[in-house]
A and B are shown apart, each in its own frame.
Chain A
Amino acid sequence: MDRQTRAQLDTWVEALWQERMTRRAFLQRGVGLGVATSLLTEIVGLFTRQVAAEPGASPQVLERIKQEGKKLFVYNWEDYIHPNTIPRFAKEFGVQVTYDTFPSNEQLLAKLQAGGAKYDVISPTHNFVPIYIAQGLLTPLHHEQLPNLQNVLVRFLNTPFDPGNTYTVPYGWGMTALAHNTTYTQDDPRLGSWALLFESGPQRYSGKLGFTDEREEVIAAALQYLGYNANSRTKDELRQAGDILLRVKPHVKAFYPGAEAKKALITEDIVVAHSWSGETVKAQAKNPAVVWSLPKEGGTGWFDTMAIPKAAPHKFTAAVFINYMLRPDVAAENANTTGYATTNRVAIEQYVAPQVANNPAIYPPAEALARVTFLETIPDALLPFYEDIWTRVLGA
């Protein structure tokens, strides 16, 4: 209570004492004053609130974070983090974090290219990383600032997409294949094949088919159904994939942006879908009839990364954040809720809940993993042809 408020209250107490004011009026005014004061405190607090750092982080680190202004802007995929992860970081390092999400790689890239958005940490998917590097949009990482990088599974390190992990470190990984609702599909002879979507789809589930709107993944699914490599660069094969998609399109409910398909799977608005593994897992938690299927022709795999844009205003804080995300307990916390696997070896060994670790939709057994093709970057020279196929599919 500030001095003015107290003085006001004193006058009223005095008035009450001298019976110039009734008890009721005193109470009314008192409550009014209380509400007004707390509102004012609240508003002032919005401008002045400081996050106090937890003890534990080293003083040098805290000092550098302080020099950068104790702020961090994180731009991540939708639905891709445990609700406690950011608050915990904010508390531990005394940083005010602004957390924003994006629904597609193209959107993230366009935003970065435009140059206006000053994010500190972004999470592009592995096959987009070469484009960011070629355009010079990322800052090289100082590995001595990222000791927790040693926790990451070797197979996700030093990939062709970012040799030596100069610019990115792996975050979560997942697959894109089939989700279907067993109430509708249990007696379908095409179970376990992309034919469930591309052949049974138009016949049995017309209007109840869903797709993600990730161009590469949708075209890859059609390629795999046709028996071609998901990374095919043959124009004829790509054209055939486009034709298949055009044929199935009249029966498709929607090409769902980002994490949208999950709701439709839960409510059974769609019953067979081209879907991300994690969204399927989360849908299944709400509707047990929804199941994950990695077709015999194969599915696609991807891993998301964490990187620091060249224009990032808080580069050191960003590195601290990335190192924090690579901590086994933090990585496991994320993996336990997002429905996607962590690339963190120590996290899997020590922290991930058994029901998550044993879920084939999250950590596929070796024989299933063999059917997962990790997507490669579309060569720049092929892009106009490739994009034209996609435009025709969506525009028809």
Chain B
Amino acid sequence: MQTWRRRLLGFLHRHPGWAVALLLGPAVLWWLVLTLLPMGIMAYYSLLTRGPWGTITYTLTLDNYRQVVDPVFLHILVRSLRLALLTTVLCLAGGYLLAYWITFAVRRYKHLYLLLVIVPFWTSDLVRLYAWITLLADHGVLNNALMTLGVLPAPWSLLYNEGAVLVGLVYTYLPFMVLPLYASLERLDRTVLEAAADLGATPAERWYKVTLPLTKGGMLSGSVLVFVPSVGEFLVPELLGGAKTMLVGKFIALKFTGLRHWPLGAAYALVLVTLIVLLLLVYFRLGGSTEAFQTHAT
């Protein structure tokens, strides 16, 4: 056993290339199978031709990309980006407060509070969104309660509008913001804060000049985790928006289902992915490059 282990270590020592391969192997495999392969399949489909009745003909063409320039798509894309941005900002504000509170104010059972953030994930998001319908409907829980109390004379239209979609998005993606923020706040070196206090910084200054810059990494990665899936969200606008607030996810889905044009749908999806990647690159450039995925800054 010992000799076997020593021999392996010796081998890896003499051949550092193998060591690197062994260390990176699982991650690369993960990336290949779960990211590159599906993307590749989609890229391939986007170059195929639609046959009669929505079948797929294996003739390569660039035609689908020529069709992508559609003013309706642009309009819907802008709406999706705007809603995703709003979602991110609201999640960042709410998530920061929550993570800050859990980190600094909660003394006992800290993990219980974190658990409470994650618990909703244990049920299907479909069920959770139906719960929101029950809450927000004209004769739902909230309106009925407010009318019984005499606060409202008639139901307030809360459901099936952009506001409801925003509520649903913030609700769905808030945990993605809280967890990285909590991680970066938790790892914040408290002695740095003490030093700032010793040097005469007021609490507000300590937060603004020390805490905030040191948790930028968490904020950046949390924002990416919220923004990216919000742009392509399908279920929330469908259920809470009453299918009236079409976002880009539904637009692309309609290419597959309504138009039965899978290659065109794939082309749109790829264009969307490319756009988001470009946006992220700009974002990282502005936000301080590689810090994005560090949960603590040094």
List residues of chain A with CB under 8 Å of any chain B CB: 104, 106-107, 109-110, 113, 131, 134-135, 207, 213, 215, 249, 252-257, 264, 267-269, 380, 383-384, 387-388, 390-392, 394-395
B182 an interface residue at 8 Å Cβ cutoff?
A: no
The answer to whether B243 and A109 have CB atoms under 8 Å apart is no
The answer to whether A394 and B250 have CB atoms under 8 Å apart is yes
Chain B nearest Cβ from A207, distance in angstroms: 6
Q: How far is the CA of A131 from the CA of B246 in the complex (A)?
A: 26
What are 15 A-to-B residue pairs whose CB atoms are below 8 Å?
A107-B257, A110-B256, A110-B257, A253-B157, A254-B242, A254-B243, A255-B243, A255-B244, A267-B137, A267-B139, A269-B139, A391-B72, A394-B254, A395-B76, A395-B246
Q: Which of A104, A131, A207, A380 contacts B157 (CB 8 A)?
A: A207
The answer to whether A113 and B244 have CB atoms under 8 Å apart is no
The answer to whether B53 and A380 have CB atoms under 8 Å apart is yes
The answer to whether A380 and B52 have CB atoms under 8 Å apart is yes
Q: How far is the CA of A384 from the CA of B238 in the complex (A)?
A: 22
The answer to whether A135 and B54 have CB atoms under 8 Å apart is yes
B7 an interface residue at 8 Å Cβ cutoff?
A: no
Q: How far is the CA of A186 from the CA of B127 in the complex (A)?
A: 37
The 9 closest A-B pairs by CB, nearest first: A254-B242, A106-B257, A255-B243, A267-B139, A269-B138, A134-B53, A395-B246, A254-B160, A387-B259
Chain A nearest Cβ from B104, distance in angstroms: 43
B138: chain A residues within 8 A (beta carbon): 267-269
Chain A residue nearest in CB terms to B246: A395
B128 an interface residue at 8 Å Cβ cutoff?
A: no
B137: chain A residues within 8 A (beta carbon): 264, 267, 269
B16 an interface residue at 8 Å Cβ cutoff?
A: no
B206 an interface residue at 8 Å Cβ cutoff?
A: no
A390: chain B residues within 8 A (beta carbon): 254, 258
Q: Which of B54, B55, B157, B238 contacts A257 (CB 8 A)?
A: B238
Interface size class of B (residues with CB under 8 A): 20 to 34
B52: chain A residues within 8 A (beta carbon): 134, 380
State whether A395 and B72 are in contact (beta carbons under 8 Å apart), knowing that A267-B139, A383-B259 are contacts in the complex: yes
The answer to whether B243 and A257 have CB atoms under 8 Å apart is yes
Chain B residue nearest in CB terms to A377: B53
The answer to whether B243 and A391 have CB atoms under 8 Å apart is no
Q: Which of A110, A380, A388, A395 contacts B75 (CB 8 A)?
A: A395
Chain A residue nearest in CB terms to B56: A113
A384: chain B residues within 8 A (beta carbon): 259, 261
B250: chain A residues within 8 A (beta carbon): 394
The answer to whether A106 and B258 have CB atoms under 8 Å apart is yes
Q: Which of B65-107 contact A (CB under 8 A)?
A: 72, 75-76
Chain B nearest Cβ from A375, distance in angstroms: 15
B251 an interface residue at 8 Å Cβ cutoff?
A: yes
Interface string of B227-259 (1 = CB under 8 A from A): 000000000001000111010001100101111
Q: How far is the CA of A131 from the CA of B53 in the complex (A)?
A: 6
Q: How far is the CA of A391 from the CA of B257 in the complex (A)?
A: 12
A252: chain B residues within 8 A (beta carbon): 242, 244
Chain B residue nearest in CB terms to A270: B138
Chain A nearest Cβ from B173, distance in angstroms: 22
Q: How far is the CA of A394 from the CA of B238 in the complex (A)?
A: 11
B242: chain A residues within 8 A (beta carbon): 252-256
Q: How far is the CA of A241 from the CA of B152 in the complex (A)?
A: 37
Chain B residue nearest in CB terms to A249: B244
Counting chain A CB atoms within 10 Å of each CB, the highest count among B75, B139, B157, B160 belongs to B160
B72: chain A residues within 8 A (beta carbon): 388, 391-392, 395
Q: Which of B157, B238, B258, B262 contacts A387 (CB 8 A)?
A: B258
Q: 7 additional contacts, CB 8 Å, given A253-B157, A255-B243? A: A104-B257, A207-B157, A256-B242, A268-B139, A269-B139, A384-B261, A395-B251
Chain B nearest Cβ from A129, distance in angstroms: 12
Chain B nearest Cβ from A12, distance in angstroms: 39
Q: How far is the CA of A387 from the CA of B252 in the complex (A)?
A: 12
Q: How far is the CA of A395 from the CA of B80 in the complex (A)?
A: 11
Chain B residue nearest in CB terms to A266: B139
